Structure formats: C-alpha cells, structure tokens
A and B are shown apart, each in its own frame.
Chain A
Amino acid sequence: MTAARDLSVDFCGVKFKNPFMLASSPVSNTGEMVGRAFDAGWAGVAFKTIATGDTKIIHPSPRMHGYNAGDKKLLGLQNVEQVSDRSLKDNLADVTNLKKEWPEHVVMASIMGFSNKEWSDLAKACTDAGADILELNFSCPHMTVEGSGYKVGQANELITRFTETVKKATNIPVVAKMTPNITDMNEPAMFAKKGGADGISAINTIRGISEVGINDWIPRPNVGGKGAISGYSGPAIKPVGLRFIAEMAQNKELGLPLSGIGGIETWVDALEYILVGAATVQVTTGIIHYGYKIVEDMIEGLQDYMADKNIKKVSDLIGKALPNLCDTNKFDLKRQGLAEYDLTRCVGCGQCYTVCQDAGGQALKWNSIDRRPDLDEDKCLSCMICSFVCPVDGMITYREKR
C-alpha cells in the first residue's frame, strides 16, 4: 500500500482536486453525465460548447467514425459533431446545478459565438450561471462559416478581438482552446494572450479522413452518401498534442498555464503531457472508448508514481522534461550504441532478422538450426527497429558503446 498522494493542482488560479478533466465534447454533454463523471473521480469538466441557440443545431447522422489499426480498436476517432444542440437555458441550468451539487469540482464552460455580441452575451450568461472558467472554442475543426471554429484559430486578429470581448464581459479566468490545423501554435496563442487570455487548451482535433469506403467510394463517416474532412482524435494524435504543448511551454513570452488534450487514456499519457508543460489534461476519445471509469486508474497510477519518485505535488512535475527537449543539432553524436540481445529469452520468430535485412543495417545473421539471430556488432546501426518488432518485452535493449 502506498499512501494516497494529493494530486491537486492550480490552473488559472482555480484549484483542481486532480489534473483530470473531461474535454468539451459528447462526454460532457449534460449535467447528468458530468455529475456521474465527477462521482467517478474527474476533477473538472470543459462543458460541451454552449452557443446562443439562435441557430438550431442538427447533428449529421452518423456523426462519428472509428479508425482501427490491426487489433487496436479506436486508435483514432473522426467526428462531425457540432456545438451543443441543447437550449441555452438547459445548459446554463446544468452549469448552475453542477456547481451547487459538486462545489469542489471545476466547471469550465466552453462557449462559441458568431459575433462580438454573442461572445459577450455567452460569457456573461455562463459567468452568472456559476462557471469557474470560460473556455473559448476557437478550434472546432469542421466549421464552414468564416469567423467561427478553427477559422477563428487561423485568423489571429479575431482571436484577440473575441478574447478581449469575453474578458470585458466576465471576471472569471478565460482559456483559449487552440486548433492544431496550423503550422505554429505559438503565434495564435500570443494573440490570445494579447486579448487577455489566462490560459491555453490544446489541441482540438486534427482535420482528417479516417477511412475511405473502397466499395462505395464514400469517405467516412458516410453521412447520406457524403463524407467530410473533419476532426480526428484519439491515441493516434497524442504525439502531435505533446508537440504543441511542449512548444508553447518552451515559449517564455507566452508564460500561460496550459491544459493538454489529445489521445490521453492512461496516467502515463497524462503524465507525459504534464512533463512537457501541461497543468491539467482533458479527455474525450478515451472516455468514448472505455467510459468514465478510466479516471480511477489515472488517479491511482499517478499517485503511485509520485510516491515511488517521492514527488510531493503535481506542480513539481509540470515541464520537467522540457530541459531535455532540444533541436536535433544539439545532439552529442560522439555517443553511439548498439542493440543488445538477451537470447536466453528469444522465442525464435526471426522478425528482428527480417527487419534488419530489409530496413536496417543487415547486421543480423540467421541461425536456422537454433532459430536465433546472430548480431555482427560492427554492422549494427542502433536504429533499434528490431526491438520495436520483437514480441518479447525488453529482450532487445539499447546499449551505449564505451
């Protein structure tokens, strides 16, 4: 037994019991759902994006499509989900009720307006309803109207203008949620800061096509015979999310707290985001795949990790990997290594041999009698692809040459 560690963390001046939040998405659609998530252990929610309700939202059918890779289901998820299709009144009532029933939990209301006035009205309404933070949705990946969704996130002046508008209308912290469908996120993030943003959430989904029907020639999801390029999420995009968070965390001029999003399913994923600079993390696809219960393992896993490493608080972990992140021209090329084989554990499949022959340095010979690889150390490129395909965990390791 390890003692339960305090996982509380500060984000934009608001205290979270732990860094784990629901992202603004179908998993945070109603107060009833969010209440169950809070009971399961989630510390906060980015409540499903609230709009004025002046335009009726009709969701496409079907609205999602799963991407499976080999035996891994939902490696990715594509969606054409819109903002909340519920009435403004119902959403605001849910925010109020959640804060009443779960005062220790954080409600960050995600909002999206189509004009200065709408942004202002929504900010006021959500603040009055009791939200702790506002998250400005500058990043919905499949909006078609100019000046909305990711098209705001790609237009720096609009980011500043809408952020300023919201800041004027509220006294609670304001977080800008950014789109990854750009080259450098630091640029729009700085424009958000200029408008007064108190923090940044990233990433929203990446525009993509998860599958193309090979018999009907219709990209998925097949919405009445048509597909669309739209938001792609899940474990497949985690490396991209980590990159954007790390780049913003390295930007000393920005200096805003970050909420990491993208492909998080376990405490390890969450911790990686924290180590490159996130204070909180948000989850959708992991919940779509497994349900709210995964937070139990995120909490317990992070607590045990902190106990093992004797780390007192989550904030001590934020950005801890950043000093070790550099450009490739900073590498010490004098340090070289090779693949080391523990052949006592080898099961004789020979996949290492195949990939070394066809993609590596042809450094392995194959002993077909014993069914074992035989490494010529001088030829090993230390590319380590053999270790990636080896089915025996830890049998092939990297060793630095001395």
Chain B
Amino acid sequence: MEKGFDLGLAVAEANRCLLCHDAPCSKGCPADTDPATFIRKLKFKNIKGAIRTIKNNNTLGASCGALCPSANLCEKECSATGLDKPVRIAKIQRFLIEHSWNIAFNPIEKLCASREKVAVVGAGPAGLSCAAELAKNGYQVTIFEEKPEAGGVLRYGVPEHRLSKDFLAKELEDLNKLGVEFKCGIKIKGSDAAEKLFNEGYKAVFFAPGLWKAVKFKNAAAEGLFSSTDFLSGLRDKKSEELKKYIKDKNVAVIGGGSVAIDCAESALKFGAKDVYIAYRRSYAQMPAEKDELIGALEAGVHILPLNKPADYIIDNGKITGIKLIRTKLGDKDSSGRRSPVEIKDSEWILEANIIIEAIGNEVSEDVPLKENLTTADKNCCKTSIKGVFAGGDIVRGPSLVVNAVKDGKAAAESIKKYLGGKEPA
C-alpha cells in the first residue's frame, strides 16, 4: 500500500485546517464521518479523541481513508481550497486509525449485552458496518459470507496494493472485539432464504450481497478473457500465484475507464505484464476514475488509449491474441449530458493482447436470493417489502462507493433497532 502519514505529517496537515465554523467537509461525507471534529482534535493534541470520533462514526475508517475518492467528497468542500489546496482529510483519517492500531487504543465497546439475534448476509462494507452498529448496541450478530473470508469488495474487489490483507485484518478486529460471529464459505440462497434464517432464531436479516456478476462486453469464452471481478478476486484468493505467473510478460488490454479498470491495469503491471493498455471509448477527461488515479496509472507505465472503442476480440485456437478497436471522436451530447463517442469510419485497428479484462461494470447475479425484494429496497431506510428483511449496498443502489455502503449499513442498523423495538435485554 501507498505509505500513509506519520504523526508529524498528520499534525502538519491538520495545522493547515482552517477550523471552519459550520464546517463544510463534515457535510461532504455520506457516512457522516466528521472530519472537522477529528482534525480539530488532532490539532489540539487530543489524539485519542480524534480516533474516537472516527470510530464512533465509521467502523471502516481506515479503509475509507485509503479508498475514498475524497477529492470528490469531503475534500471537495474544504475551505482551504480557496487558499491553495484542500486539507488531505482522507490521509489524516487513515493515519488516525493506523495510529490507533500502533498504540493499541480501541474506543469501541459494547453498550449493553444480549439483545436479539440478527443475521447479516454479505461481509462487505455494508454488512460489516451494519453488524458493528448492531453489535455495539448489544445485538447478537452473525454474518454469512459466500467467499472464504470476510471483507467483500475490500478483499476481493480491490488489489492488495490499495488495501492489504494485514490492513484489512486490523480493520476487522473491531468486529471480533464486539463479538460478531462470521460464517464464511456459506451461500445463502433460495426464495425462502429469509424464512430459514428466521426459523434459526434470527429476528431480522440485513442483505448486502453486493454485485459480483460482471457486465460482459461480448459473449465470448477464450483463454485470456477475464471479467474485472474474476481478475481482481483471482489475485486475492488461493490460486493467486498461478494467475500472477500467467500475467507475467503478457500484453494486457483493459476495457473501461473507471477506478476498477485502473486497479486491473496497475495490478497487471505490478505482476510483470509486458505492456498494459486501457481502451476507453470516450475522451480522457470523461474517464470516471479519479484524476490522481489516472495520473498514477500513466506514471506507472499504463498506456491509456482514449477515443478507442472495442469492436471485437481476436481469438486463435481458443486463446485471445488481440482486440479490435475502432477510433472515435466526440459528437453531440447524449442523455447523460456528455458528448458521445462517434466511430470514425475505416479506423479499425488491432491491438495485440494475450489478456483482455472487461471492467465495464457489475450487475445483479441471477442466484441472489429474493432478488426483486432486495433491489427495490428503500434507499434511505433499507427496508424491503418483507417484514424483518432489510437490504443495502450495491445490490440496492448499483455500483457505488465503499463509503455509501457504510452509510447503508448504518442506516439499516438504525432501522433494525427500531424494528426490534430497542427493548432492554431481559
């Protein structure tokens, strides 16, 4: 992972904070993390208090600090931008939580014991934050996770260089401390999924299974063709060494323009790919990835090919050997308000590639239980049409940020507390 701040750098950055009245940064966080308060606390040497502020608001404070596109969130609102540049809030946040690990300070505690049993399906950011909030309030929470280990997108959706295994393990310690039970490698399925859990004694269920089915550009199967989810999770699971060997010295073409495309391209480079290309049908400025990520990828050696639209895959003997691209130019605005790419006649060309990674989005898998009920859940309170069943995260809102999943997890916990009546334990 990129090196974080040390205490000196964090304090120096906190000293750039203008200590705004009615601080706009604190209004810029979907998960209600409160930068104005934790930065002020750091500045006035109240370091434990600063850690407490983050942890009370966000059980995934370090992960958000490492992964948030903060330039578009809290830092976008920072008043110091009017002077020169925003305070690097996300880096301060990440530092404070890493510092809490170093000094073994954890303010998280169970407020009371032995309320009802609640099931959480999916150990991604939404499920984890819902579980933490409930467990703090005394509920007995079990998380069911299909994959071998907890973390969801934090483990299987981003590469190790953005969020390492050790880092994640430390972040998950809060849940262990709160007594949350993890049941990994268990797939919850079927139209009676909720009913079965109720029968097992769970009084409420929060579904946050995420989106793990990749959108396909072309219905093809060939050696060397990957979806971004298969590629990124493949680098984090047991067979990762095999995949890393496979990548070495290959030419790689990534399709897409978002953060996930960047993650795939940079990972391929890290594991020894010869040349890595990102093909994107719109312009560079239209790429959804954060500016810092794009520049980082360019500097790492990724070749970004904007205004190049994939047309076909070249397959020889069942193996990918190249990708056919068509050059585009920007035409009139489309329904999204962006100028749309228009193909340039006779401009097809072949980019030699042994690996193609499709990073053009994820959608709901067919085997998600209660699909209709989950995808139509209320985006604010996470209630579904089934009593006692709640849903949040990407399954409800579509592909989105970790911090939005955290927000949903917290909102679901509130709804579940209300639903269960918040009765004092017997």
Contacts from A to B (Cβ < 8 Å): 70-71, 346-351, 353-354, 366, 368, 371, 391-392
**Is B83 in contact with A348, judged by CB distance below 8 angstroms?**
no
CA distance A350 to B25 in the complex (A): 13
Task: Say if the beta carbon of B24 comes within 8 Å of chain A.
Answer: yes
CA distance A70 to B20 in the complex (A): 18
Q: Which residue of B lies closest to A70 (CB)?
A: B15
- CB contacts (< 8 Å) of A349 on chain B: these are 18-21, 79-80
- CB contacts (< 8 Å) of A371 on chain B: these are 22, 24, 79
CA distance A366 to B23 in the complex (A): 12
State the Cβ distance, B165 to closest chain A Cβ, in Å: 35
Instruction: Give the contacting residue for B83; candidates A70, A350, A391; CB below 8 A.
Output: A391
Instruction: Give the contacting residue for B11; candidates A71, A366, A392; CB below 8 A.
Output: A71
Task: Say if the beta carbon of B295 comes within 8 Å of chain A.
Answer: no
13 A-B pairs besides A347-B79, A349-B19, A353-B21 with CB distance below 8 A are: A70-B15, A70-B43, A347-B82, A348-B20, A349-B18, A349-B20, A349-B21, A351-B18, A351-B19, A351-B20, A366-B21, A371-B22, A392-B83
- CB contacts (< 8 Å) of A347 on chain B: these are 18, 79-83
CA distance A38 to B20 in the complex (A): 48
Interface pairs (17), CB distance under 8 Å: A70-B15, A70-B43, A71-B12, A71-B15, A346-B82, A347-B79, A347-B80, A348-B24, A348-B79, A349-B79, A350-B20, A351-B20, A351-B21, A353-B21, A366-B22, A371-B24, A392-B82
CA distance A346 to B81 in the complex (A): 11
CA distance A389 to B15 in the complex (A): 13
Contact with A along B36-75 (1 / 0, CB 8 A): 0000000100000000000000000000000000000000
Contact with A along B1-27 (1 / 0, CB 8 A): 000000000011001001111101000
State the Cβ distance, A173 to closest chain B Cβ, in Å: 46
State the Cβ distance, B323 to closest chain A Cβ, in Å: 48
Asked, given contacts A347-B82, A348-B82, A349-B79, whether A391 binds B18 with beta carbons under 8 Å apart, the answer is yes
- CB contacts (< 8 Å) of B83 on chain A: these are 347, 391-392
**Is B15 in contact with A350, judged by CB distance below 8 angstroms?**
no
- CB contacts (< 8 Å) of A353 on chain B: these are 21
State the Cβ distance, B123 to closest chain A Cβ, in Å: 40
Q: Which residue of A lies closest to B43 (CB)?
A: A70
- CB contacts (< 8 Å) of A70 on chain B: these are 15, 43
Instruction: Give the contacting residue for B21; candidates A71, A346, A350; CB below 8 A.
Output: A350
Q: Which residue of A lies closest to B20 (CB)?
A: A349
- CB contacts (< 8 Å) of A392 on chain B: these are 82-83
CA distance A39 to B63 in the complex (A): 55
State the Cβ distance, A344 to closest chain B Cβ, in Å: 11
Q: Which residue of B lies closest to A368 (CB)?
A: B22
CA distance A50 to B310 in the complex (A): 83
- CB contacts (< 8 Å) of B79 on chain A: these are 347-349, 371
State the Cβ distance, B77 to closest chain A Cβ, in Å: 10
State the Cβ distance, B35 to closest chain A Cβ, in Å: 14
CA distance A349 to B20 in the complex (A): 4
CA distance A152 to B22 in the complex (A): 56
CA distance A323 to B79 in the complex (A): 43
- CB contacts (< 8 Å) of B81 on chain A: these are 347
- CB contacts (< 8 Å) of A348 on chain B: these are 20, 24, 79, 82
Asked, given contacts A71-B12, A347-B80, A347-B83, whether A354 binds B21 with beta carbons under 8 Å apart, the answer is yes
CA distance A71 to B45 in the complex (A): 12
CA distance A392 to B24 in the complex (A): 18
Query: Which of A346, A348, A351, A366 is most buried by chain B, counting CB atoms within 10 A of its CB?
Result: A348
State the Cβ distance, B68 to closest chain A Cβ, in Å: 23
Q: Which residue of B lies closest to A352 (CB)?
A: B21
CA distance A351 to B19 in the complex (A): 7
CA distance A204 to B24 in the complex (A): 48
- CB contacts (< 8 Å) of B12 on chain A: these are 71
**Is A350 in contact with B22, judged by CB distance below 8 angstroms?**
yes
State the Cβ distance, A304 to closest chain B Cβ, in Å: 27
State the Cβ distance, A348 to closest chain B Cβ, in Å: 5
CA distance A398 to B79 in the complex (A): 24
State the Cβ distance, B236 to closest chain A Cβ, in Å: 40
- CB contacts (< 8 Å) of A346 on chain B: these are 82
- CB contacts (< 8 Å) of B20 on chain A: these are 348-351
- CB contacts (< 8 Å) of B19 on chain A: these are 349, 351, 354
